[in-house]
Structure 1
Amino acid sequence: MAMSERRRRTAEALGEADDVVRALDEGLRGHGIALPSLGVDPLSCAMVDPRPLVELGRCNVATARQLVELLDRCPK
């Protein structure tokens, strides 16, 4: 694969990961839930052909409880 093609694919993968992190953050904040360490995992982007992972991070018990309550209200 040519370097320019690899860079394009990397940029697309990172852009998609950033977009989904932003959408998830907005959606959670719309329900009063903030995950301060929500972001793209930088190590998953370090490969030649990156496959970004979304790092949900750590949260306190109260925030975890809010997530459980929100999920309980959602249809399955």
Structure 2
Amino acid sequence: MHSPAEADACVEELRAALAAHGITLPSLGLDLPALASRPARPLITLGACNLLTAQALAAALRQRAA
């Protein structure tokens, strides 16, 4: 099982990787209710984004897959 600290580090790693492609997910973070559960099961919330951000994310994923 992963710790909250590991989940937080993962969020920051994902934030940096997205930023390298010019992508910002404003709601990216840890899911607080999941952290409060016992035992804690950290989840990462990707959150909502606008259409342009979703298109940029899809393009970055397609580029990486190619």
Shorter-normalised TM-score: what interval?
over 0.9
Q: RMSD value over aligned CA atoms?
A: 1.5
- TM-score normalised by structure 2 residue count: 0.93
**Structure 2 residues not aligned, in runs of 5+:** none
| Distance apart, 1:53 and its partner CA | 0.3
- Matched with 2:60 is 70
Q: Deviations over 1:4-63 (max 9, x none)?
A: xxxxx8xx6100000000000000001100001100000001112101100000000000
Higher RCO, 1 or 2 (CA under 8 Å, sep at least 6)? Answer: 2
- TM-score normalised by structure 1 residue count: 0.81
| Distance apart, 1:75 and its partner CA | 2.4
| Distance apart, 1:74 and its partner CA | 1.1
- Give the Cα–Cα distance (whole angstroms) in 1 for the partners of residues 7 and 49 of structure 2: 21
Aligned length: 66
Which of 1 and 2 has greater Rg? 1
**Structure 1 residues not aligned, in runs of 5+:** 1-8
Aligned-pair identity in percent equals: 41
